[in-house]
Structure 1
Amino acid sequence: MRATALIVAAGKGIRAGGASPKQYQLVAGVPLLRHAIEHLRPHQAITSVQVIINPDDRAHYDAATQGLDLPPPIAGGATRQASARAGLEALAADPPDLVLVHDAARAFVPCTLLDALFTALEDPANHGAVPALPVIDSLRRGHGHFTASVDRDSLWRVQTPQAFRFVPLLAAHRAAPEGATDELGIALAAGLRVAITPGDERAFKITDPQDFARAQMMQVSTSSIPRTASGFDVHAFGPGDHVWLAGVRIPHSHGLIGHSDADAGLHALTDALLGTIAAGDIGDHFPPSDPQWKGAASDRFLAHAASLVRARGGTIDFVDLTLICERPKIGPHRAAMQARVAAILKIDPGQVSIKATTTELLGFTGRSEGIAAQAMASVRLPA
């Protein structure tokens, strides 16, 4: 049995906002349309996936599907019904046995939902199968005031993809008047027998910005692994008239001794980020025995660690730095440090915490012999 999945993606999606149609907007860094394609293609019963688009959006489509081996897209029509009909007509010259008509806005269809559709179509009495969820909320009629109750026992929330035997669905589309909202309505009007199969909340329809936020949270929770690691560094005071801390030059009665600029804050942050990807420590990447790093600005070290995290597909969520010293005073420089670290890491300043503490005159920091720094970093890596 050959089964083709047609993804209807020709709409304008203006309720979602944004500069482009919603099917090309990003969720977890990936266009919504690509999510829809990649949730259908792996299923063993689906032999091909083809997308129906607005020809004006061809550049968006090409960018969203770059690297995917897909047939050329089909030009859609002015309505969803017209677009789906165009897709079916395009397949008619070499028709598949089964066709799944799917909305790009329902981009996260789980495999179990697809399994149920194909199982229902193993029954020769069924012309089609449509996933649906039972209505569980109480329903009432009214305009301003409630006037009547509605029996919800036989009511369903219909989803896509909607799967059919190709020949009867094409015939039903050709006979249908304008105004249908989905294939189920067209099929029922033509007298086709359509089975109800279990829907899934993950196949919800993305319509407005709140839906995009929900999809983003869902993708982050299911497609990434959180990692947290710490870093620690110490440098002693020596001759000088300034120190570098968290990327900020601070006038001081002493300098800090080190092979590079001795920025204990950035060194601790660098080790924390390297730790999230188990990439050793700062000395492995920038050995103090190498003369090229003598006097080097430590922002290069932190930027390198961030680039390694991103090369692994990771996202930096948050960094936290505690500077431990009696002096210089950190408070007057905290905002500048926060902004500088955020710029180095290419994240928002709100994702950077800078704190300071003393050791109450105890130990080497209490005796003003040096500065210590402790850092934490949280990232997300691909699952």
Structure 2
Amino acid sequence: MRIAALIVAAGRGTRAASGAGSGPKQYAVIGGTAVLTRAIEAFARHPEVDEIKVVIHADDAELYERAAEGAGAGKLSKPAIGGPSRQASVLRGLEALAPGAPDLVLIHDAARPFVSSTTISKVIAALNSKSAALAALPVTDTLKRSGGDGLITETVARAGLWRAQTPQGFHFAPIIEAHRAAAEKELDTFTDDAAIAEWAGLGVAVVEDSAANIKITTAEDIELADQQMTRTLEPRTGTGFDVHCFCEGDHVWLGGVKIPHTHKLEGHSDADVVLHALTDALLGTIGDGDIGQHFPPSDPKWKGAASRQFLEDAARRIREIGGRIGNVDITVLAEAPRIGAHRPAMQALIGEVLGLPANRIGIKATTMEGMGFVGRREGIAAMASATVFVPAEDT
């Protein structure tokens, strides 16, 4: 099952730009990071999303390059150029994805930078049995309709009413055909992709979203979001350490990379000291036990398991409390093998799991100058630290 995320960022955002300086709202900076960058990273961190494509305005190539630099964790493909309307931009994005033929596509507005991993998962899960699904919030306010004179003409019943949000998920083939059909008939008044799906006869399921998934629309939205990000996130630091001894074998796993060697590391899983130390460092930032607590070596389920699974679980736990991983740093203590040539591959794997660019993943190595068990070539050890930003407890 291949899943693509299509992020629509071709709009001009005039309501936001009019009071917030130059540039469309999707490139505005909140909490030190561009709105679009946050949207990209939300999907890059999700383990089920395979590709991310952004639809941009023809005039925004330079802005996009700055926002996309280091983002996407290797999932970001070449951007598509948008059309004269959101509907036209989505179709161009879908056409750009068509050669890769994804099974599912999640269409998301770039101006929603706070979409959660949970919401993305719920939309994907709904597509197991439905043709389409959209994130939405139930209407809780009393609704009124007014006439031309500004006076209330009626109170609208809110039962069964939902506020449509994004992402909106679809099976790829039916939604691109629906978009193509609407374009051929010159129907361009649809306000979202779910409306096109409804017009094409596709059943659309509702997935309840979080109120945090706000849409940045005005200059005031940008200011409030920036204040909230600055005020409510606090840094946490965690450390981890792991060691494994050598046994008979012909390779070791370090940082998720298989490296030929005269021995292998002994352990219940694949004995990857790098990922084990890093997993503990991440768990430490949120006070959530250690790797042995969540994946006990006494459980046969984890015999020979790839340690990437442990790292993915730690990252998921951080995301679920609204946390964001800032950077990680690892030191390998070993006489051999040398890891310099394997550093880029380690950074790529860790970056894919954690949603981090290579410049936020430090990997270093040192020998013990012949001293101790490492110096005697009896095993390998690794130390790791991680910085994570989590919602402040007093807010």
Task: Look up the match of 2:385.
Answer: none
Structure 2 counterpart of 1:55, which letter?
A
Superposed CA offset, 1:46-83 (max 9, x none): 11111110121100001111123421111111100000
| Alignment of 1:141 onto 2:145 | yes
Match of 2:97 among 86, 91, 95: 91
Match of 2:54 among 51, 54, 69: 51
Superposed CA offset, 1:2-56 (max 9, x none): 1000000011111102211111110011111001001111111111111110121
User: Structure 2: which 5+ runs fail to align?
Assistant: 237-325, 328-387, 391-395
Task: Look up the match of 1:378.
Answer: none
Task: Look up the match of 1:374.
Answer: none
Task: Look up the match of 1:7.
Answer: 7
Q: Which SS does the other structure have where 1:56 is aligned? A: helix
In the alignment, the residues of structure 1 paired with residue 206 and residue 228 of structure 2 have an alpha-carbon distance, to the nearest angstrom, of 26
Counting matched residue pairs gives 231
Name the stretch that deviates more: 96-105 or 210-219. Answer: 210-219
Q: How does 1:299-338 map to 2 (within 5 A)?
A: none
Superposed CA offset, 1:338-369 (max 9, x none): xxxxxxxxxxxxxxxxxxxxxxxxxxxxxxxx
| Alignment of 1:208 onto 2:218 | yes
In the alignment, the residues of structure 1 paired with residue 12 and residue 31 of structure 2 have an alpha-carbon distance, to the nearest angstrom, of 21
How far does residue 214 in structure 1 lie from its aligned partner after superposition? 2.5
Aligned-residue sequence identity (percent) comes to 44
Q: Which SS does the other structure have where 1:43 is aligned? A: coil
In the alignment, the residues of structure 1 paired with residue 42 and residue 232 of structure 2 have an alpha-carbon distance, to the nearest angstrom, of 14
Match of 1:102 among 81, 104, 108: 108
Q: How does 1:211-360 map to 2 (within 5 A)?
A: 211-225=221-235
Structure 2 counterpart of 1:215, which letter?
A
In the alignment, the residues of structure 2 paired with residue 189 and residue 129 of structure 1 have an alpha-carbon distance, to the nearest angstrom, of 14
| Alignment of 1:163 onto 2:169 | yes
Rg larger for? 1
How far does residue 224 in structure 1 lie from its aligned partner after superposition? 2.4
Gap change, CA 1:146 and 1:53, over 3 Å in 2? same
Q: Which SS does the other structure have where 1:20 is aligned? A: coil
- Normalised by the length of structure 1, the TM-score is 0.58
Specify which structure has the bigger relative contact order, considering alpha-carbon pairs within 8 angstroms and separated by 6 or more residues: 2
Superposed CA offset, 1:179-220 (max 9, x none): 212101100001101110011111111000121123123322
Task: Look up the match of 1:175.
Answer: 181
In the alignment, the residues of structure 1 paired with residue 206 and residue 97 of structure 2 have an alpha-carbon distance, to the nearest angstrom, of 25
In the alignment, the residues of structure 1 paired with residue 137 and residue 231 of structure 2 have an alpha-carbon distance, to the nearest angstrom, of 23
Match of 2:69 among 63, 66, 70: 66
In the alignment, the residues of structure 2 paired with residue 6 and residue 99 of structure 1 have an alpha-carbon distance, to the nearest angstrom, of 7
In the alignment, the residues of structure 1 paired with residue 70 and residue 142 of structure 2 have an alpha-carbon distance, to the nearest angstrom, of 47
In the alignment, the residues of structure 2 paired with residue 8 and residue 217 of structure 1 have an alpha-carbon distance, to the nearest angstrom, of 25
Task: Look up the match of 1:257.
Answer: none
In the alignment, the residues of structure 1 paired with residue 133 and residue 188 of structure 2 have an alpha-carbon distance, to the nearest angstrom, of 22
Q: Is the CA contact 2:137–2:208 (under 8 Å) kept in the aligned structure 1?
A: yes
Task: Look up the match of 1:22.
Answer: 25
Superposed CA offset, 1:215-262 (max 9, x none): 123322443249xxxxxxxxxxxxxxxxxxxxxxxxxxxxxxxxxxxx
Backbone CA RMSD of aligned residues: 2.1
Superposed CA offset, 1:75-111 (max 9, x none): 1111000000000011112210000010000111011
Please list every run of at least 4 consecutive aligned residues from structure 1 whose deviation after the TM superposition is greater than 6 angstroms.
none
User: Structure 1: which 5+ runs fail to align?
Assistant: 227-311, 314-380
Task: Look up the match of 2:282.
Answer: none
Q: Is the CA contact 2:143–2:157 (under 8 Å) kept in the aligned structure 1?
A: yes
In the alignment, the residues of structure 1 paired with residue 55 and residue 2 of structure 2 have an alpha-carbon distance, to the nearest angstrom, of 19
Structure 2 counterpart of 1:127, which letter?
S
